[in-house]
Amino acid sequence: MLNKKVEDALNAQVNAELWSAYLYLSMAHNFEADGKPGIANWFKIQFQEEQAHAEIFMNYINQRGGRVLLKAIDAVETEWATPLDAFKATLEHEQKVTALINNLYAIAESEHDYATREMLNWFVKEQVEEEDSAQELIDKFTLIGNDGMGIYSLDRELATRVFNTPAPLAAE
């Protein structure tokens, strides 16, 4: 059974994951409107991943006898001038999420909740991947600069990204 402090922290993370999904959906539609369907696809997949992350947390809360409490999702930005701007915002956001996951881990540890700490190990690894992916795209868009053909080529590459069900959900 979850103690109240851990349950509250996990519910706050559910909200943060859903806010992240909302942010990435906004980014997707910004680039869809700008005629960059591949970049839009990348963000749509990111949207799905964040929804899945929220689902993992909600399933865990329920599994441990807690109660999921959904709260309002704050507004997100709706415009990014360039893909580089959006991926810089993505990296900054993912770094904040990493800090949230690390804080959750610290709470679980301080409450001697080793089951929650173990569940969070997957998210710790996931955040390394999230930050690396954003940085890789920042590097590519920085290299490309304003080269239209380069942006077109990378847009086509990003159109091939597909959603893969995260391991904690695939196991269910």
Task: State if pTM tops 0.85.
Answer: yes
* Confidence (pLDDT) at 172: 66
Domain that holds residue 69: 4-166
Domain total of the chain: 1
159 belongs to a structural domain: yes
CA distance 159 to 133: 15
Backbone CA torsion sign across 9, 11, 12, 18: positive
CA distance 37 to 57: 30
The segments of the chain whose pLDDT lies below 50 read none
CB 56 within 8 A of CB 166: yes
End-to-end Cα separation, the chain, in angstroms: 20
* Confidence (pLDDT) at 164: 95
* Confidence (pLDDT) at 160: 98
* Confidence (pLDDT) at 170: 85
171 belongs to a structural domain: no
172 belongs to a structural domain: no
